[in-house]
Amino acid sequence: MADFGRGIMAGLVATLVISLIMIMRQAAGIMPWFDPIEVMSLTAQNLLGMPHSVAGGWVLHIGIGSLIWGVLFSGLADMLPGKSYTRRGLLFGLLAWILVMMTVFPMAGSGFFAMGFGVIAPIATLISHLIFGAVLGATYGWLRTL
């Protein structure tokens, strides 16, 4: 049975983990030309007519990761294959990555699968989504035991 509150909490934890990884990557100068928050801001600008804003990009990033992905995972978690919530989260992360690569990046003007950034961007975002999914699933599974 879906537990949306725990899904939102798990989504927030996973979003914070992946956000810290993004911040550390940028601080280390790794792929400085690739900024997912900028992509979020440009997508909101192109799709919703919102003003371009880094703060707005962060709000969208945290809101989508916590609310949309968290609720969606909690609703699908018991239907996804896998013996553990962590494995189910990995699959969910993969599916989320495919969806983002086919919608968000094209709407931001970066092309399907972010190919406007070159081949490394889709690989980096896949790794990020898998980490997000694993943390989301593991946290959700742990919260369900409380």
Domain that holds residue 61: 4-144
Which stretches of the chain score pLDDT less than 50? none
The total number of structural domains in the chain stands at: 1
Question: pTM of the prediction?
Answer: 0.88
Instruction: Please give the structure tokens belonging to residue 15.
Output: 């979003």
pLDDT digits (tens, 9 = 90+) for 66-93: 999 999 999 999 999 999 999 999 999 9
pLDDT digits (tens, 9 = 90+) for 94-105: 999 999 889 877
